[in-house]
A and B are shown apart, each in its own frame.
Chain A
Amino acid sequence: MEHRVSNAFDRAAARARCRAYRRRILEISQQVSALHVAPAFSCTEITDAAYNGLMRRGADGAPLDVFLMSKGHGCMIQYVILEEMGVLERRDLDLYCKPGGRLGAHPDYGVPGIAASTGSLGHGLGIAVGQAYAERLKKTGVRIFCVLSDGELQEGSTWEAMMMAANLRLSNLVVLLDNNDFSGLERMSEAHRAFYPVLDKARAFGWEAAEVDGHDGGAIVEAVEGRAGGDRPMLVTCRTVKGKGVSYMEHVPIWHYRSPNPEEYRRALAEIEEN
């Protein structure tokens, strides 16, 4: 299905960016024994679409809107984008998870570009609701983009936040759901069948909701910019593949938290260049 994409978002350029981001994440994976590669590859296009398609920037290029990575274990993709933007330095990434560095396996509030300390699941959306509400009180027009994992939808706290976001009519809150169908242990749609479908639940909670291919940044941008409007918060269910782009990682839970060995690294690089 073809999507109408806003003029500013160039699909070919986005593909090139995402290829470079994945390459950089793999490169960093060789510095450490453990790195959440697959969770980051799952939301690579989502995060790129947020930063490079949706978030408005000021005259100095700095984002006016807020990006909050609720699935903290996906933060490698945010780090490499912040590096590309010049918000983080190459040295920061070189010292990832090392003494003297300031980047860990989960985002830490206070580090430039990081909107909240996440890592424990089910916290980010509640914080995002507070941020969106504050911006509305201040009448700034700032929007909050929150990347949520489908696993986080199992946390009760997420549904408290879903309820309040709609109650407060937070139209400046956009959730991009990384729906890769895998939590740490197993495939969610098999282990927790009664939980689906997700889209209907979001709508029943008073959210505007849409579903797109989560590896098509253009589709994500269009879904958000083409929203019906009004006073509802929006959730975009992005169908994704955990480990997207590297065949042996796709849908394989071990890659939730493992760095490829040198041979696997070479194979991964080659596959990414082909995509």
Chain B
Amino acid sequence: MRNRFADVFYDLAKDDPRLCIVVADISPAGSIARFREEFPERFVNTGVAEQIMIGMAAGMAQRGLKPFAYTIATFALYRPFEMVRDDLCYQNLPVTVVGIGGGVTYSTLGATHHAQEDVALACAVPGLSVIAPCDPLEAEAATRWCATQEQGPVYLRLAKAGEPVLTADAPEPWEFGRLRTLRPGRDVCVLSYGAIMDMTLEVADRLAAAGRSVCVKSVHTVKPLDRAGVEAALKDFAHVVVIEECAPNGGLGMQVKAIAQETGAHCRLDAFSLADAFIHCYGSHADLLAEHGLSAERIAAALL
């Protein structure tokens, strides 16, 4: 996702002099390095200083530029949270805050580097759009949208590099603010977003192997949530499942449950999220998700 973001940003920025990138001591490699060489003034590294990264991005946007602020998700959102809230969202500026390593992607670095409640926090801030692509192709579409929109601030939650392409054959295109069907099905509808989509599709495979017809939808835009799309899923399917790499409080699962309650939905509804806990565990991304209670095997077993 990181590399695809860099490629798309470079392609757009070479033709749009308003596009800038402000980073805090971390850089997407590849195309962004090329961008920095060709347009050194439009690449700013604030160093290990995230508050000024966001503050500067706000000031640049007010004076007509279109900045992306880019660093590890925890430091992009948590450290300068009040700058994101006041400088970007209160002032409604079209700045994209890119958080790398969303969820527990940085699986060996400890909870200081786990953006495990980032989506819930970002969703709580008025005016902040929250986009969490599930693969490089969605990252490309989302980056393109962020770079060309004027409506306001965005938190773009990416994983890191090397995620598999999952949506090449999706029957629906990526559209901001709309649920996207990745696989059609009739019995069960699974809603998911972000890098955990890989596991979600494995869950779907297991359910399919057990004879269920499984629909998988990408909720790449967590805010503004496609409420009509969620309502339709709750109405059209006997069983709706949410799988997300985010803390339970304020995440998508809780939001879908609220909509189900408000609309009197009758379907079975299950939600799987990260635990409401800090874990002291190191290993692969899958190891950490498992420590949080999330694995395809365990989820499928709970659903069958």
Contacts and interface: CB of A to CB of B under 8 A. Distances in A.
B276 interface: no
A157 to B, nearest CB: 4
A126 interface: yes
A126 B83 contact: yes
B141 interface: no
Interface in B229-268: none
B90 A129 contact: no
A120 to B, nearest CB: 5
A168 B47 CA distance: 12
Interface string A160-180: 110110001000000000000
A131 B83 contact: no
A51 interface: no
Interface residues on B, range: 20 to 34
B64 A138 contact: yes
Nearest to B50: A160
Nearest to A120: B86
Interface in A130-155: 130-135, 137-138, 142
A140 to B, nearest CB: 9
A219 to B, nearest CB: 28
A130 B82 CA distance: 17
A137 B65 contact: yes
Contacts of A133: 44, 56, 59-60
B82 A131 contact: no
Given A117-B90, A157-B83, A130 B41 contact: no
Nearest to A136: B41
Interface string A45-85: 00000000000000000000000000000000000000000
B52 A131 contact: no
Nearest to B95: A130
Given A117-B91, A160-B51, A168-B44, A129 B63 contact: no
A127 B64 contact: no
Contacts of A109: 62, 90-91
A156 interface: yes
Contact of A115 (B20, B44, B62, B67): B62
A138 B91 CA distance: 22
A206 to B, nearest CB: 14
A127 B52 CA distance: 8
Contacts of B63: 130-131, 134-135, 138, 142
A163 B60 contact: no
B55 interface: yes
Interface in A98-138: 109-110, 115-117, 119-120, 122-123, 125-135, 137-138
A128 B60 CA distance: 9
Given A129-B59, A137-B42, A123 B52 contact: no
Contacts of B55: 123, 125-127, 129-130, 157, 160-161
A57 B152 CA distance: 30
A156 B83 CA distance: 13
Interface residues on A, range: 20 to 34
Given A156-B51, A157-B51, A164-B49, A130 B62 contact: yes
Contacts of A110: 91
B146 to A, nearest CB: 18
Contacts of B42: 137
Nearest to A155: B51
A126 B59 contact: yes
B187 interface: no
A131 B60 CA distance: 5
A13 B22 CA distance: 44
B287 interface: no
B62 A127 contact: yes
Contact of B56 (A119, A126, A142): A126
B31 interface: no
A110 B193 CA distance: 35
6 contacts: A116-B62, A117-B87, A131-B60, A131-B63, A142-B63, A163-B49
Given A134-B65, A137-B42, 20 more contacts: A109-B91, A110-B91, A117-B90, A123-B83, A126-B54, A126-B87, A127-B62, A128-B59, A129-B52, A129-B56, A129-B59, A130-B56, A131-B60, A131-B63, A133-B44, A134-B63, A157-B55, A164-B52, A164-B56, A168-B44
8 smallest CB-CB distances across A and B, nearest first, come from A126-B55, A130-B59, A134-B63, A130-B56, A160-B52, A131-B59, A157-B51, A160-B49
